[in-house]
Structure 1
Amino acid sequence: MAELTKSYEVVDYPSLPTILCPCGVARRGLMDVESVPYSLHVTEITKNAKVHYHKAITETYFVLECEDDAQMELDGERIPLRPHMAVVIHPKTRHRAVGGMKVLIVASPKFDPADEWFD
Protein backbone atom coordinates (compact mmCIF):
# COMPACT_ATOMS: atom_id res chain seq x y z
CA MET A 1 0.00 0.00 0.00
CA ALA A 2 1.30 3.44 -0.91
CA GLU A 3 2.17 5.80 1.90
CA LEU A 4 0.01 8.91 2.16
CA THR A 5 1.89 12.05 1.19
CA LYS A 6 -0.44 14.30 3.18
CA SER A 7 -3.01 13.83 5.91
CA TYR A 8 -5.91 15.74 4.30
CA GLU A 9 -7.71 16.47 1.03
CA VAL A 10 -9.23 19.74 -0.18
CA VAL A 11 -11.83 19.85 -2.95
CA ASP A 12 -12.80 23.13 -4.61
CA TYR A 13 -16.22 22.17 -6.01
CA PRO A 14 -16.77 25.29 -8.15
CA SER A 15 -13.61 24.37 -10.07
CA LEU A 16 -14.80 20.81 -10.82
CA PRO A 17 -16.38 20.09 -14.20
CA THR A 18 -20.14 19.71 -14.36
CA ILE A 19 -21.35 16.31 -15.52
CA LEU A 20 -24.82 15.58 -16.87
CA CYS A 21 -26.46 12.73 -14.97
CA PRO A 22 -29.96 11.18 -14.77
CA CYS A 23 -30.72 13.59 -11.91
CA GLY A 24 -29.46 16.83 -13.43
CA VAL A 25 -25.93 18.23 -13.16
CA ALA A 26 -23.26 16.91 -10.77
CA ARG A 27 -19.81 17.95 -9.62
CA ARG A 28 -18.10 14.76 -8.42
CA GLY A 29 -15.30 15.15 -5.92
CA LEU A 30 -12.71 12.70 -4.55
CA MET A 31 -13.07 10.43 -7.58
CA ASP A 32 -9.31 10.17 -8.11
CA VAL A 33 -8.20 10.12 -4.45
CA GLU A 34 -7.27 6.50 -3.74
CA SER A 35 -7.05 6.97 0.04
CA VAL A 36 -10.75 7.95 0.25
CA PRO A 37 -13.18 5.01 -0.22
CA TYR A 38 -16.16 7.11 -1.36
CA SER A 39 -16.94 9.99 -3.68
CA LEU A 40 -18.72 13.18 -2.70
CA HIS A 41 -20.96 14.97 -5.19
CA VAL A 42 -22.81 18.26 -5.23
CA THR A 43 -25.77 17.76 -7.53
CA GLU A 44 -28.38 20.18 -8.84
CA ILE A 45 -31.50 18.07 -9.36
CA THR A 46 -33.83 19.00 -12.20
CA LYS A 47 -37.56 18.40 -12.16
CA ASN A 48 -37.17 15.58 -14.71
CA ALA A 49 -34.83 13.20 -12.87
CA LYS A 50 -34.92 9.67 -14.29
CA VAL A 51 -35.60 6.56 -12.22
CA HIS A 52 -32.41 4.53 -11.92
CA TYR A 53 -30.57 2.22 -9.54
CA HIS A 54 -27.12 0.94 -8.71
CA LYS A 55 -26.15 -2.68 -8.19
CA ALA A 56 -23.13 -2.02 -5.94
CA ILE A 57 -23.22 1.60 -4.78
CA THR A 58 -24.92 2.91 -1.65
CA GLU A 59 -25.80 6.59 -1.95
CA THR A 60 -26.62 9.01 0.83
CA TYR A 61 -28.40 12.15 -0.27
CA PHE A 62 -28.15 15.14 2.08
CA VAL A 63 -30.59 17.87 1.06
CA LEU A 64 -28.93 21.29 1.06
CA GLU A 65 -31.90 23.17 -0.39
CA CYS A 66 -35.13 22.20 -2.12
CA GLU A 67 -38.48 23.37 -3.40
CA ASP A 68 -41.40 23.13 -0.96
CA ASP A 69 -42.91 20.13 -2.77
CA ALA A 70 -39.63 18.20 -3.28
CA GLN A 71 -39.71 14.43 -2.80
CA MET A 72 -37.53 11.36 -3.12
CA GLU A 73 -39.10 8.44 -4.95
CA LEU A 74 -37.80 5.11 -3.59
CA ASP A 75 -39.12 1.89 -5.18
CA GLY A 76 -42.29 3.77 -6.14
CA GLU A 77 -42.89 5.34 -2.71
CA ARG A 78 -42.55 9.11 -2.40
CA ILE A 79 -40.96 10.65 0.69
CA PRO A 80 -41.38 14.42 1.26
CA LEU A 81 -38.07 16.26 1.64
CA ARG A 82 -36.92 19.42 3.35
CA PRO A 83 -33.46 20.95 3.82
CA HIS A 84 -31.06 19.06 6.10
CA MET A 85 -32.75 15.68 5.67
CA ALA A 86 -30.66 12.68 4.65
CA VAL A 87 -31.82 9.63 2.70
CA VAL A 88 -29.69 6.47 2.47
CA ILE A 89 -30.34 4.55 -0.75
CA HIS A 90 -29.15 0.95 -0.72
CA PRO A 91 -28.09 -0.94 -3.86
CA LYS A 92 -30.91 -2.09 -6.18
CA THR A 93 -33.33 0.57 -4.86
CA ARG A 94 -35.00 2.30 -7.81
CA HIS A 95 -34.86 6.00 -7.06
CA ARG A 96 -35.18 9.51 -8.33
CA ALA A 97 -35.55 12.97 -6.91
CA VAL A 98 -38.79 14.79 -7.69
CA GLY A 99 -38.71 18.57 -7.82
CA GLY A 100 -35.85 21.00 -7.88
CA MET A 101 -33.17 20.65 -5.23
CA LYS A 102 -29.48 20.84 -4.46
CA VAL A 103 -28.04 17.81 -2.68
CA LEU A 104 -24.76 16.50 -1.39
CA ILE A 105 -24.37 12.82 -2.34
CA VAL A 106 -21.95 10.40 -0.70
CA ALA A 107 -21.42 7.38 -2.98
CA SER A 108 -19.79 4.31 -1.43
CA PRO A 109 -17.86 2.73 -2.95
CA LYS A 110 -16.88 5.58 -5.28
CA PHE A 111 -19.38 6.41 -8.00
CA ASP A 112 -18.96 4.35 -11.15
CA PRO A 113 -21.02 5.36 -14.23
CA ALA A 114 -21.04 1.68 -15.27
CA ASP A 115 -23.17 0.98 -12.16
CA GLU A 116 -26.06 3.17 -13.25
CA TRP A 117 -29.01 1.09 -14.45
CA PHE A 118 -32.39 1.89 -15.97
CA ASP A 119 -35.45 -0.35 -16.35
Structure 2
Amino acid sequence: MTRDRTMSTETKPGYELADFAEIDGVPCPCGTARRAFADVEDFPGTVHVTSISAEAKLHYHKRLTETYFFLECGPDAKMQLDDELIPVRPGMCIMIRPGTRHRAVGTMKVLIMVLPKFDPADEWFD
Protein backbone atom coordinates (compact mmCIF):
# COMPACT_ATOMS: atom_id res chain seq x y z
CA MET A 1 0.00 0.00 0.00
CA THR A 2 1.30 3.47 -0.89
CA ARG A 3 0.00 6.72 0.53
CA ASP A 4 0.73 10.25 -0.61
CA ARG A 5 -1.21 13.05 1.12
CA THR A 6 -1.56 15.05 -2.09
CA MET A 7 -2.85 12.06 -4.04
CA SER A 8 -4.18 9.85 -1.24
CA THR A 9 -4.18 6.81 -3.50
CA GLU A 10 -4.04 3.32 -2.09
CA THR A 11 -2.46 0.77 -4.43
CA LYS A 12 -3.55 -2.86 -4.21
CA PRO A 13 -3.32 -5.63 -6.77
CA GLY A 14 -6.13 -5.09 -9.27
CA TYR A 15 -7.37 -1.65 -8.19
CA GLU A 16 -6.59 1.86 -6.97
CA LEU A 17 -8.57 3.65 -4.25
CA ALA A 18 -8.71 7.42 -3.80
CA ASP A 19 -10.26 9.08 -0.75
CA PHE A 20 -11.10 12.64 -1.79
CA ALA A 21 -11.65 13.62 1.85
CA GLU A 22 -7.92 13.03 2.38
CA ILE A 23 -6.64 14.67 -0.82
CA ASP A 24 -5.32 18.20 -0.40
CA GLY A 25 -7.12 20.80 -2.50
CA VAL A 26 -5.10 22.93 -4.92
CA PRO A 27 -6.09 26.27 -6.45
CA CYS A 28 -7.26 26.16 -10.07
CA PRO A 29 -8.97 28.65 -12.45
CA CYS A 30 -12.32 27.27 -11.29
CA GLY A 31 -11.78 27.25 -7.52
CA THR A 32 -10.24 24.34 -5.61
CA ALA A 33 -9.51 20.91 -7.11
CA ARG A 34 -8.75 17.61 -5.42
CA ARG A 35 -7.04 15.40 -8.01
CA ALA A 36 -6.64 11.62 -7.97
CA PHE A 37 -4.78 8.98 -9.97
CA ALA A 38 -2.14 11.29 -11.50
CA ASP A 39 0.52 8.93 -10.14
CA VAL A 40 -1.11 5.76 -11.52
CA GLU A 41 0.89 4.83 -14.62
CA ASP A 42 -1.64 2.45 -16.19
CA PHE A 43 -4.62 4.85 -15.85
CA PRO A 44 -4.89 7.21 -18.84
CA GLY A 45 -6.48 10.15 -17.01
CA THR A 46 -7.14 11.86 -13.73
CA VAL A 47 -10.30 12.26 -11.67
CA HIS A 48 -11.00 15.51 -9.82
CA VAL A 49 -13.57 16.69 -7.33
CA THR A 50 -13.67 20.46 -7.77
CA SER A 51 -15.41 23.08 -5.66
CA ILE A 52 -16.12 25.86 -8.13
CA SER A 53 -16.18 29.44 -6.89
CA ALA A 54 -18.26 32.34 -8.19
CA GLU A 55 -15.01 33.78 -9.64
CA ALA A 56 -14.27 30.88 -12.01
CA LYS A 57 -12.14 32.08 -14.95
CA LEU A 58 -12.84 31.43 -18.60
CA HIS A 59 -10.10 29.13 -19.91
CA TYR A 60 -9.42 26.31 -22.35
CA HIS A 61 -7.10 23.37 -22.89
CA LYS A 62 -5.21 22.56 -26.08
CA ARG A 63 -4.84 18.82 -25.36
CA LEU A 64 -7.17 17.87 -22.51
CA THR A 65 -10.76 16.67 -22.74
CA GLU A 66 -12.72 17.28 -19.55
CA THR A 67 -16.01 15.68 -18.59
CA TYR A 68 -17.93 17.48 -15.84
CA PHE A 69 -20.50 15.59 -13.77
CA PHE A 70 -22.48 18.04 -11.62
CA LEU A 71 -22.79 16.84 -8.03
CA GLU A 72 -24.15 20.01 -6.39
CA CYS A 73 -25.19 23.41 -7.73
CA GLY A 74 -27.76 26.13 -7.26
CA PRO A 75 -30.91 26.53 -9.37
CA ASP A 76 -29.29 29.26 -11.52
CA ALA A 77 -26.05 27.35 -12.24
CA LYS A 78 -24.72 27.45 -15.78
CA MET A 79 -21.71 26.47 -17.85
CA GLN A 80 -20.26 28.89 -20.36
CA LEU A 81 -19.05 26.94 -23.39
CA ASP A 82 -17.48 29.37 -25.86
CA ASP A 83 -20.27 31.99 -26.30
CA GLU A 84 -23.14 29.79 -25.10
CA LEU A 85 -24.57 29.59 -21.56
CA ILE A 86 -26.01 26.15 -20.70
CA PRO A 87 -28.19 25.71 -17.58
CA VAL A 88 -26.98 22.77 -15.46
CA ARG A 89 -28.28 20.84 -12.48
CA PRO A 90 -27.08 17.92 -10.34
CA GLY A 91 -26.98 14.68 -12.32
CA MET A 92 -26.08 16.33 -15.64
CA CYS A 93 -22.81 15.71 -17.46
CA ILE A 94 -20.94 17.78 -20.10
CA MET A 95 -17.94 16.62 -22.14
CA ILE A 96 -15.69 19.55 -23.11
CA ARG A 97 -13.34 19.05 -26.05
CA PRO A 98 -9.91 20.69 -26.37
CA GLY A 99 -10.11 24.28 -27.59
CA THR A 100 -13.54 24.96 -26.06
CA ARG A 101 -13.43 27.98 -23.79
CA HIS A 102 -15.32 27.17 -20.62
CA ARG A 103 -16.15 28.21 -17.09
CA ALA A 104 -18.81 27.48 -14.53
CA VAL A 105 -21.19 30.29 -13.62
CA GLY A 106 -22.24 30.05 -9.98
CA THR A 107 -20.88 27.99 -7.14
CA MET A 108 -21.02 24.23 -7.53
CA LYS A 109 -19.27 20.94 -6.83
CA VAL A 110 -18.33 18.77 -9.81
CA LEU A 111 -16.61 15.49 -10.54
CA ILE A 112 -14.26 15.96 -13.51
CA MET A 113 -12.71 13.18 -15.58
CA VAL A 114 -9.66 14.47 -17.48
CA LEU A 115 -8.12 12.66 -20.47
CA PRO A 116 -5.17 12.45 -20.90
CA LYS A 117 -3.84 13.09 -17.39
CA PHE A 118 -4.29 16.63 -16.13
CA ASP A 119 -1.39 18.97 -16.94
CA PRO A 120 -1.44 22.46 -15.36
CA ALA A 121 0.70 23.70 -18.29
CA ASP A 122 -2.35 23.09 -20.54
CA GLU A 123 -4.52 25.83 -19.03
CA TRP A 124 -4.86 28.78 -21.39
CA PHE A 125 -6.51 32.18 -20.98
CA ASP A 126 -7.43 34.80 -23.59
Q: Which of the five TM-score ranges fits, normalised by the shorter chain? A: over 0.9
Size of the alignment, in residue pairs? 116
Within the alignment, does 1:97 sit opposite 2:104 as a pair? yes
AA aligned opposite 1:101: M
TM-score (norm 1): 0.95
Q: What is the rounded CA distance, in whole Å, between the counterparts of 1:114 and 1:27 in structure 2?
A: 17
Q: Structure 1, residues 68-111: CA drift from partner, whole Å, max 9, x if none?
A: 10000000100000000000000000000000100000000010
Structure 1 runs of 4+ with >6 Å offset = none
The Cα shift of 1:35 comes to: 1.0
Give the strand-richer structure, 1 or 2: 2
> Which of 37, 62, 77 pairs up with 2:69?
62
- Relative to the length of structure 2, the TM-score reads 0.90
- Tell me the equivalent position of 1:84: 91
**Structure-2 separation of matches of 1:97 and 1:84:** 15
Q: 2:99 aligned with 1:118, yes or no?
A: no
Structure 2 residue aligned with 1:31: 38
SS, match of residue 110 in structure 2: strand
Distance in 2 (alpha carbons) for counterparts of 1:21 and 1:76: 22
Of structures 1 and 2, the one scoring higher in RCO (CA 8 A, sep 6+) is 1
User: Percent of aligned pairs with the same residue?
Assistant: 59
* Structure 2 gap ranges (5+): 1-11
